[in-house]
Amino acid sequence: MTSAAKQFPAAAIILGAGKGTRMKSKHPKVMHKVASLSMIGHVIKAVTQINADKAVVVVGPNMEMVEAEVAPHQTVIQHNQAGTGDAVKAALPLMKDFKQGTVLILFGDTPFIQPETLQSMISLREEGNAVVVLGFDADNPTGYGRLISNAEGKLTAIVEQKDASPEELKVNVCNSGVMAIDAEHLEELLLAIDNNNASGEYYLTDVVKLACDRDLECAVITTDEDQVMGVNSRANLAHAEKVWQEKRRRVAMDEGVTLIDPDTVFFAHDTVIGRDVVIGPNVFFGPKVRVADDVEIKAFSHLEGATVGTAAQVGPYARLRPGAELQEAAFVGNFVEVKNTVMGEGAKASHLTYLGDSEIGAGSNIGAGTITCNYDGFNKAKTILGENVFIGSNSALVAPVTIEKDAMVSAGSVITKDVSAESMAFARSPQKEKEGMATKFRELAKKKKEAAKAAQKKD
């Protein structure tokens, strides 16, 4: 998705202090992931895409995990956690230098908010509205607060369902909680919120009435319900993942990607896929994967932190770990794992192979059962293969080691020294043969087995 162009000064206050009790987790709610990115990470991403001048995240006590996730953005602790109004008030000291423009109030557990929507809210706010509230037309409005507008279309109140009149209950535009507030009026409106209610909490929704009481105009802008979907439970999280993946799959197919079984392919928030790519069933993309044009990724493959070049092939049952780079027309087959390794143009590892911390030259062929021994228990070391190297099956390449271009390694070798260009390396014990030993072995094994059975009968 392209970044939305910023037209006016904007800042964001993101509420992320919720404990997420219903998640039954030791982790803060906003740290749970959708499409391999934390929910609050999605919100930060949207704010970044509109080039906001600053973002402040409100966290709860002992939420260092959230602070690390949103860095380098500023954080502030909401100690009392007495409602949404109280949460936004906690951020006021960090907003002292932002007095002109729009302050967006966002929620860290609403991961699907889009930069285009935020930009539209800012534009509407700049038209002279002190407050803009993001609403949605709910399929089932039960339980949601209603956004009440006058004949001129100006927002006059946010009414909770329990307080709504029969006429107000007919309104289908519901409150998402997301707001855009004039920075000039932000502190005044927030400090005017009181907790004179049954819960003793400070409600952000009160700012609409407070603004209207001061003859300040308020407005509503609407979006689809999915975009303001909140996540409060593991079931909500699973539903959010499903919604996100379904949309991303449609985008992929619209952009020229073939998904043989779309429902079984899972993308990450930042997956980049080229055109004429064919993706088989049960393929999973973790973060930081880039796939060029004309690639085929076969069934049951797992990619994370990898780059796949034009016309390369992956799988089935392949795993590309962070740092894997397949250059043009490279091939990684079934049960091959590649980590922090560059496979040059046309290089092949067809099956049952581990390649870690390596450089594989163009046109090289890696036989089945080959492994690079890249870790000695203390340090990682590198294996380097030149162009057109052939590695025989069941070989172990003990790093650090270099095998120069056009060299060959015979099957079953353990290579511990460099191999020069165009040479063939043998590194295995000489084969020995003892005549008649197979027959003697079988007879001896048979006698032992019969003796063991006889001993069991006596017992």
Region 154-175 average pLDDT: 89
Residue pLDDT, tens place only, 409-449:
999 999 999 999 999 999 988 888 999 999 999 999 999 99
Residue pLDDT, tens place only, 210-250:
999 999 999 999 999 999 999 999 999 999 999 999 999 99
Q: Confirm if 283 and 301 have CB atoms less than 8 A apart.
A: yes
Q: Confirm if 209 and 189 have CB atoms less than 8 A apart.
A: no
| 2: exposed, middle or buried (Cβ count in 10 Å: 0-12, 13-18, 19+) | exposed
Residue pLDDT, tens place only, 251-278:
999 999 999 999 999 999 999 999 999 9
Q: Which CATH architecture has domain 10-228?
A: Alpha-Beta Complex (3.90)
Region 178-193 average pLDDT: 96
User: Among this protein's residues, is 351 annotated catalytic?
Assistant: yes
Q: Does domain 254-425 have CATH number 2.160.10.10?
A: yes
Lowest-confidence segment of 71-80, 157-166, 201-210, 345-354 by average pLDDT:
157-166
Region 37-49 average pLDDT: 97
Q: pLDDT-based confidence at 458, cuts 50/70/90? A: confident
Q: Confirm if 6 and 117 have CB atoms less than 8 A apart.
A: no
Q: How confident is the model at residue 1, as a pLDDT?
A: 42
Q: How confident is the model at residue 2, as a pLDDT?
A: 45
Q: Are strands 131-137 and 173-182 parallel, antiparallel or unpaired?
A: antiparallel
Which are the contacts of 109, defined by CB distance < 8 A and separation ≥ 6?
A: 16, 18, 20, 29, 30, 39, 40, 230, 231, 232
Region 17-30 average pLDDT: 90
Residue of 287, 236, 224 lying closest to 45 (CA atoms): 287
Q: Confirm if 316 and 298 have CB atoms less than 8 A apart.
A: yes
- Greatest Cα-to-Cα distance within the chain, rounded to the nearest angstrom: 106
- Cis peptide, bond prior to residue 322, ω within 30 of zero: no
Q: How confident is the model at residue 80, as a pLDDT?
A: 84
Structure token digits, residue 167: 């006429």
Q: How confident is the model at residue 108, as a pLDDT?
A: 96
Share of the chain above pLDDT 70, in %: 98
Domain boundaries, the chain: 10-228, 254-425
Residues composing the chain: 459
Q: How far is CA 215 from CA 128, 159, 188, 202, in A?
A: 12, 19, 14, 22
What's the chain's average pLDDT?
Answer: 94
Q: How confident is the model at residue 7, as a pLDDT?
A: 63
Helix, strand counts (H, E) of the chain? 9, 33
- Residue 277: enclosing H or E segment and its boundaries? strand 277-279
Q: pLDDT-based confidence at 21, cuts 50/70/90? A: confident
Q: How confident is the model at residue 4, as a pLDDT?
A: 52
Residue pLDDT, tens place only, 447-457:
999 999 888 88
Q: pLDDT-based confidence at 385, cuts 50/70/90? A: very high
How is 376-395 classified by DSSP, letter by letter?
A: -SS-B--EEE-TT-EE-TT-
- Residue 448: enclosing H or E segment and its boundaries? helix 437-458
